[in-house]
Amino acid sequence: MAEAQFRTPKGTHDILPDDHTYMTYLKKAVRHRCRQAGFKRIETPIFEKKDIFERTIGEHTDIVEKELFLVKSHHNKNDDDDDFALRPEFTASICRSYIEHGMQQLPQPVELYAIGPCFRHDRPQKGRYRQFNQFSLEVIGLSDPSLDAQLIHMLNKIFEDVRIRDRLTMQINNVGTAENREEYTSALKDFFIGKERNLPELDRKRLKTNPLRLLDSKEEDTQILLKSAPTLDQFIGEESKEYHNILLEFLDELGAEYVQNPNLVRGLDYYNQTVFEYWDIETKGKNAVGGGGRYDPLMEMLGGQPTPGLGFAGGMERIIWQMKQAGVQAPNKDHVDVFVAQLGPDAKKMCLALISELRDKGVHTLGALGEASLKSQMRLADKFKARYSLILGQMEVKEGVIILRDMEAGKQKKIPFDKAVPEIIKLLGPDKLDTYTLRDHMGE
Ligand code: HAM
């Protein structure tokens, strides 16, 4: 095969048809559970003012500092106000939309979900892409531990639906209020005075810009030092502790398993109180399949009224990887019921109408309308694993018949041409027909 001249950009990938069956299966599971719980779908632009991400996710987070894809056009190259970025996630955009469209007027909480591509200029490696897909669920406008518990329960159901829940653990923590974290951050900074030299370079930088990130550092030296450092839970207020305990009680009530992880802080600045992540049992925090938490300060960061919020995003590529590891076969409806083969100009004309009629009746039909020999058309029918073939040669046209071949049994018979459609429908069984139409969808 010739070497391709063009390839996908680094960190991106084509989702080929085989992988799309997994994508579709996962999206269906998400949509199904969202519909059951009254979530409504929202779609926001793929790019937004970059300010939106800087203010909410945080200027000193990896996502904003290193990973934003900036969008420049010929028209905005001199104007900072018009700096755009590809969305690295959905939450900030959804909250922007909530404020912009006055959704505080709606009954609260407003429950929204989005599915689509996000962009982070990460160093590409296994499970880390520059374009990846997320599903994001957001519950905005009310704060109550029962909402946190319900969201987590719903996610458990989605992971059960795609049959990977038992490959994951759900790690949970409460990071308190912004004031709690400020006090803790300054205690942490004090603790490290004189010890900076013992920290790896990256963590020395983090200590200056975002000290909380030290807690989930993968560096062994940092983890050893942290053993004698003050811990976040010493700074969490009574109210947050109570919130957390009630949430855990609710999770117990729902039979939702969790692992309490006092070091879980998450890499985005907008969180307070509850944070949680789903980890692979073996690889743990590396390549989490999803994460979320409560983000009560976010609306104000965007200039809105104080409004509590809670949400979660799952990384679809990572979930699909888990499904494949678990040996899950994504069901698909791409099978071919009938392959129509023809020879000669009259047969071709008649087959065009026949193919169209079969498809309209819900029969998955392929037809080779090129000029190939009947033998090579039958080879194609085999390759597509067609259940039946309908074969129309010049002789059959003259006789007003068509050959119906059962591909599995290797048996064939001649039937009247105008009986071809009802005969196929009888053989397949009316309940096997794919008769979905747009009209069904509109409930007409
Ligand atoms: P996040 O933890 O930054 O949270 O991302 C959520 C998930 O997206 C990750 O757990 C991971 O599965 C996937 N993901 C992130 N970056 C990449 C990447 N470079 N390649 C592949 N997958 C990736 C958020 O985005 C928050 N908005 C979640 C949230 C919603 N919090 C509240 N509401």
Q: Which distant-in-sequence residues (6+ apart) come within 8 Å of 192 by Cβ?
A: 199, 207, 211, 225, 229
| Predicted local confidence at residue 74, as pLDDT | 75
Q: Is 135 in the pocket of ligand 1 (CB under 6 A)?
A: no
- Beta strand residue intervals within 40-83, DSSP E: 40-41, 47-49, 70-71
| Predicted local confidence at residue 444, as pLDDT | 45
Q: Which residues of the chain carry a pLDDT beneath 70?
A: 1-2, 76-82, 437-444
C-alpha closest to that of 310 among 340, 274, 282, 335: 274
- Asked if 268 contacts 58 with a C-beta cutoff of 8 angstroms, the reply is yes
C-alpha closest to that of 213 among 62, 52, 57, 65: 62
**E strand or H helix at 170, and its extent?**
strand 168-174
C-alpha closest to that of 215 among 206, 250, 127: 206
| Predicted local confidence at residue 94, as pLDDT | 98
Phi (first) and psi of residue 96, to 5 degrees: -60, -45
Q: Which distant-in-sequence residues (6+ apart) come within 8 Å of 95 by Cβ?
A: 56, 138, 140, 295, 298, 299, 302, 304, 309
Which residue among 13, 26, 87, 132 has the greatest number of ligand 1 atoms within 8 angstroms of its CB, and so is best to mutate? Answer: 132
Alpha-carbon gap, residue 168 to 173, rounded angstroms:
16
CATH of domain 338-432: 3.40.50.800
* CB atoms inside a 10 Å sphere around CB 65: 14
| Predicted local confidence at residue 386, as pLDDT | 97
* CB atoms inside a 10 Å sphere around CB 442: 7
- Would strands 168-174 and 131-140 be described as parallel, antiparallel, or unpaired? unpaired
* Residue located nearest, by CA, to atom 21 of ligand 1: 128
Supply the pTM of this predicted model. Answer: 0.91
Q: Report how far ligand 1's centroid is from the alpha carbon of 316 (Å).
A: 9
C-alpha closest to that of 278 among 177, 166, 174: 166
| Predicted local confidence at residue 332, as pLDDT | 85
| Predicted local confidence at residue 442, as pLDDT | 59
User: What is the position in ligand 1's atom list of the atom closest to the CA of 130?
Assistant: 19
Q: Is 173 in the pocket of ligand 1 (CB under 6 A)?
A: no
Determine the distance from the C-alpha atom of residue 276 to the mean position of all C-alpha atoms in its chain, rounded to a whole number. 17
Domain boundaries, the chain: 17-177+237-325, 188-230, 338-432
User: What is the position in ligand 1's atom list of the atom closest to the CA of 288?
Assistant: 10
| Predicted local confidence at residue 435, as pLDDT | 85
Alpha-carbon separation of residue 432 from 3, 36, 200, 309, 428 (angstroms): 43, 26, 62, 44, 6
Q: Is 280 in the pocket of ligand 1 (CB under 6 A)?
A: no
CATH of domain 17-177+237-325: 3.30.930.10
